[in-house]
Structure 1
Amino acid sequence: MATWSTKPSLIAAAIVVLGLSCSAGVAHGRRHGRSFVSSYDEPCKEMRLYLHDIIYDYSNSTSNSTSAAATKPTALSTAVADPGYFFGEMVVFNDPVTEGTALPPSLNETAAVRAQGMYFYDRKEAPNAWFSFSLVFNSTAHGHGTINLMGADLMSEKTRDISVVGGTGDFFMTRGIATLSTDEASAGLEYFRLKMDIKLYECYV
C-alpha cells in the first residue's frame, strides 16, 4: 500500500515543478518557440556600436550633457590625481549609442539605443575606469530589451574586453564579450566616444 500511495504524490510534485518552470519562463520574457544557441567558436550575434559620453563640468549646456560626476574628491584623490579626474570619482551616465561615429543631432532620452549606468576611476596615477551599464534597445534594427555589461576599462590599452553578463527581452539571458576601444576623446575627458564590438555567444533566437 505504501508503494502505491507515493506514486500519485510524485506525479503531482512533477506537475507542480513543471508548472512553476513554465510560469518562470513566461515571467522572465521567454517567448514560445525560442531556442537556445550556444557556441564558443562563433558568436550567435554581432554588432558594432558607438557610445558618446558628454560629462557636465559647469561650463557646458545641461541639455547637451549626458553624464555627471556623483562624488566629490577625497583627500587622497586631491593629492595624487591629475587634473580633470580623480581617484574614486564615480560618473552616472545616460549616453546615446549610435551605429556610426557621428554624434546624434538630438541627445534626448528617446534614442533607439542608450547606455545607462556608471563608471568610476580606480587608479591613482592615471585614468583607469570600471564600467557597469545596460544597453537599452528600442528599435526595429536591433530589437527591444537590454544587454548588461560590466568590467574593467583598462584605458591605457588600445582595446579591452568587458563581459556581457545577461540581458532581457530580445536579448534574454544572453552572454558574451564587448571589446572596447577609445575612438575619440577630449584632453580632459569631457567628451569621449567608445567603439564597442559586441559578440554574443549565448542567445535565445
Structure 2
Amino acid sequence: MAKAVLLILLSAYVITEMPQASWANRPEEAPKEKVTNLQFYFHDTLSGKNPTAVRVAQAPDSDKSPTLFGATFMVDDPLTETPDPNSRLLGRAQGLYGSSGKQEIGLIMAMSFCFVDGPYKDSTISLVGKNPAMNPVREMPIVGGTGLFRMARGYAIAQTHWLDPTTGDAIVGYNVTVFQ
C-alpha cells in the first residue's frame, strides 16, 4: 500500500514538473507563414563557345527523336533581373534537366536557384518537376530551399520570353511563389 501511495505521489510530482507545452501544441501561438514572390529570367545557352547547358548523357536514339527523348543536360544558367543578359545577375540555376517526353517536348527538371545578390544572397530554392517546355505557361513545384528559404514549398510559373529553335537557346521568365 505504501508503495502504491509513493508511486502516485511521485507520478503527480513528475507531471507537475514537466515543461509547458510548446507553441506547436497551441496553434494560436504558431509563427505566421511567410510568403515570398520572386521574378527573374533564366538564360539557357546551349550554343556558342561558352554554353551554360551541356549534354552529359543520351539514349542510343536521342538524336533520332524529334523530342530528344533520353538526352540529359547539366546546367549552370544565369538568373537575371530582366530578360537582357547584361542585366543584374541575381543568381544561377544549377542542376540538370532531361528530355522525358516521347510525344511532346517535356523536360524533367531538378535544379536549385542559387541567389548571389540582393536580400536572398546565399539562399537557394529547389525546383523538381515536369516542364512541358512548349506550353506558353508552365507550372512547376518548389520542393525546398536553404538559408532564408529553409523548409520552403511553393510553385514556379515559367513563360518563354525568347527561343532560338535552331540552337535551343532560350530566355525564360520565372515568377516564383514560396511559402516558408
TM-score bracket, normalised by the shorter chain, equals 0.7 to 0.9
Check if 1:122 corresponds to 2:108: no
Give distance in 2, aligned partners of 1:13 and 1:55: 61
Deviations 1:71-121 (A, max 9, x none): 13324x344x12xx6111111101100010111389xxxx54111111111
2:125 is matched with which residue?
Answer: 147
Cα separation, partners in 2 of 1:182 and 1:12, compared to 1, 3 Å:
farther
Moved over 2 A (4+): 1-15, 140-144
Give distance in 2, aligned partners of 1:166 and 1:122: 23
Check if 1:72 corresponds to 2:77: no
Give distance in 2, aligned partners of 1:127 and 1:73: 15
Q: What pairs up with 1:1-205 in 2 under 5 angstroms?
A: 1-6=6-11, 35-37=31-33, 44-55=35-46, 60-61=48-49, 64-75=50-61, 77-79=62-64, 81-82=65-66, 86-104=68-86, 111-200=89-178, 202-203=179-180
How far 1:9 sits from its partner (Å)? 6.5
Corresponding pairs, count: 168
Give distance in 2, aligned partners of 1:184 and 1:140: 25
The secondary structure found in structure 2 opposite 1:37 is coil
* Unaligned segments of structure 2, at least 5 residues: 1-5, 23-30
Give distance in 2, aligned partners of 1:6 and 1:69: 66
* Unaligned segments of structure 1, at least 5 residues: 19-34, 39-43
- The structure whose Rg is larger is 2
The secondary structure found in structure 1 opposite 2:70 is coil
Give distance in 2, aligned partners of 1:120 and 1:9: 58
Deviations 1:33-59 (A, max 9, x none): xx4415xxxxx2212110001125xxx
Contact 2:81 2:87 in 1 (8 A): no
Question: Which moved further from structure 2: 4-13 or 97-106?
Answer: 4-13
Q: Which amino acid aligns with 2:56?
A: A
Contact 2:79 2:92 in 1 (8 A): yes
With normalisation by structure 1, the TM-score equals: 0.70
Give distance in 1, aligned partners of 2:128 and 2:77: 16
* RMSD of equivalent CA atoms: 2.9
Using CA pairs under 8 Å that are at least 6 residues apart, name the structure with larger relative contact order, 1 or 2.
1
With normalisation by structure 2, the TM-score equals: 0.78
